[in-house]
Amino acid sequence: MNNTLQDFLKGQLDTLHAEHLYKPLTTVTSAVGARVKIAGNDRELINLSSNNYLGLAGDPRLRQAASEAALAIGAGGGAVRPIIGNLQLHDDLEKLIASFKHVEDVLVFQSGFTANAGTIPTITDADDAIITDSLNHASIIDGCRLSKAKRAIYQHCDMDSLEEALKAAMGAKKRLVITDGVFSMDGDVAPLDQICALAERYDAAVMVDDAHGSGVMGANGRGTAYHFGVHQKIDIQLGTLSKAVGVVGGYIAGSSALIDFLKQRARPFLFSTGCPPAVAAACIKGIELMRDEPELSARLWANTKYWQEGLQKLGFDTGVTQTPITPVMIGDEAKTQEAQRLLRDEGILALAIVFPTVGRGKARLRTMPTAAHTQADFDEALAAFERVGKKLGLI
């Protein structure tokens, strides 16, 4: 083993520990639902830390679909999709999403992350400009890093700052504005109506990463663009199959030309194997349930209201959220990690989010109500939050 590398790694780890930024992994040993079991703890914990918005990750109908597809077709696709790994189930899933989202076509990637990393550099060149919100997700940032285009960062959801950046980019051949639909750590929503109006004025294309809007925003969870009624004006929508849909994967929805070109050039599509039959079949079932059972998202929003009002009544600061993403703002990293530990002792799983996922000094517990939680789950969690909040002087 190379000592220089080992010394570097140990030094980095020591720094993370010293700055309270080291995050041990929690290992889940049960199905993922409103309550979960974790390794080293016999008790069932109330799970407030998943992105399993609609409770579909553990849904028996998705499990059934996954098992049947694995038994009928196999464990894997056998090759990358452009060679011979393009399964009928991949085509079926893409057709279903396209019809659900009212777009011409869809391409499914292995994850939302690879959808960003594969799409952004493929549709931009050196003489283009990408104009991106300062709080956009890491996978958008990495997608931009892979592109040769010039990059301008506008202040978070600030339309004056966006307009300035668009004006400054008028010399570029193409302009592409990229924003999260719902911001993953604060839960606020991008003003897509205003963004589309500015983009139109300055001849820019718009890409919305709706990882947290899929299954949550708009009728039947079609997404943030539908919430604002601007889906016809959005050139590129990214959705994830890993959060509300409950499985894993990401997709790009847009024009036939966009999808056709991505199939020729997007590197994660060309050079990395597509999802296995079980995943595609479970995703199909998840999207069908979203389409056919609007009560799932209705329950998510009712639960969100109950949980957020409960926290606010106790005096917690839930930041600027407009969606189920419910940060409990604390600020100090060490205190946030302590709150996580105390809550776990109380039977509540609410994970601390610290730098680099959020800025330094902006640490928080990120809590996520889902459609699968009951009022009793929330009441029990609120009582624990009250005890821990008082102990740490948060309320």
Nearest to ligand PLP of 59, 209 (CB atom): 209
Per-residue contact flags (x/-) with ligand PLP for residues 340 to 359, judged by CB under 6 A:
--------------------
Residue 250 touching ligand PLP (CB under 6 A) = yes
Distance CA 221, CA 97 (A): 12
d(C-alpha 185, C-alpha 188), whole Å:
8
Q: Would you say 98 or 115 has its CB closer to ligand PLP?
A: 115
* Contact pattern from residue 129 through residue 168 relative to ligand PLP, giving x for each residue in contact according to CB under 6 A and a dash for the rest: --------x-x-----------------------------
- 212 in active site: yes
For ligand PLP, the binding residue among 52, 184, 304, 336 (CB under 6 A) is 184
Q: Is residue 20 within the footprint of ligand PLP (CB under 6 A)?
A: no
Catalytic residue among 20, 90, 212, 362: 212
H or E stretch at 7 = helix 3-18
Rounded CA gap, 236 and 75, in Å? 31
Task: Please spell the DSSP secondary structure of 254-321, one letter per residue.
Answer: E-HHHHHHHHHH-HHHHHS----HHHHHHHHHHHHHHHH-THHHHHHHHHHHHHHHHHHHHT---TT-
Residue of 94, 105, 180, 186 interacting with ligand PLP (CB under 6 A): 180
Rule CB under 6 A: say whether 211 interacts with ligand PLP. Answer: yes
Closest residue to bound ligand PLP by CB? 112
- 8 Å CB contact between 289 and 56: yes
**Contact flags string 270-309 toward ligand PLP, x per CB under 6 A:** ----------------------------------------
Distance, CA of 129 to CA of 167 (rounded, Å): 11
Given the residues 184, 214, 242, 297, select the one marked as catalytic: 184
| Nearest distance, CB of residue 250 and ligand PLP, angstroms | 4
The closest of 198, 199, 179 to 190, measured between CA atoms, is 179
User: In whole angstroms, how close is the CB of 71 to ligand PLP at the nearest point?
Assistant: 26
Position among 212, 231, 299, 373 found at the interface with ligand PLP (CB under 6 A): 212
- CA geometry: angle 100, 104, 106, nearest 5 deg: 70
Taking the complex as a whole, how short is the minimal distance between the CB of residue 124 and ligand PLP, in angstroms? 18
Over its C-alpha atoms, the chain yields an Rg (Å, rounded) of: 21
186 contacts ligand PLP (rule: CB under 6 A):
no
Using the minimum distance from each CB to ligand PLP, give the nearer residue, 188 or 386. Answer: 188
CB of 283 to ligand PLP, least distance (A): 11
Going by C-alpha positions, the residue among 122, 60, 382, 76 that lies closest to residue 270 is: 122
For ligand PLP, the closer CB: 87 or 241: 241
- 184 carries an active-site annotation: yes
Q: Cα–Cα–Cα angle for 208, 214, 219, nearest 5°?
A: 105
Site for ligand PLP in 219-248 (CB under 6 A): 240, 242
Distance of CA 28 to the CA centre of its chain: 20
As a 3-state breakdown, the chain gives helix, strand, coil percent values, each rounded to 5, of: 45, 15, 40
Minimum CB separation from ligand PLP for residue 272, in Å?
13
φ, ψ dihedrals at 128, nearest 5° = -100, 170
Catalytic residue ranges: 184, 212, 243
Q: Report the interface residues with ligand PLP, using CB under 6 A.
A: 111-113, 137, 139, 180, 184, 209, 211-212, 240, 242, 250
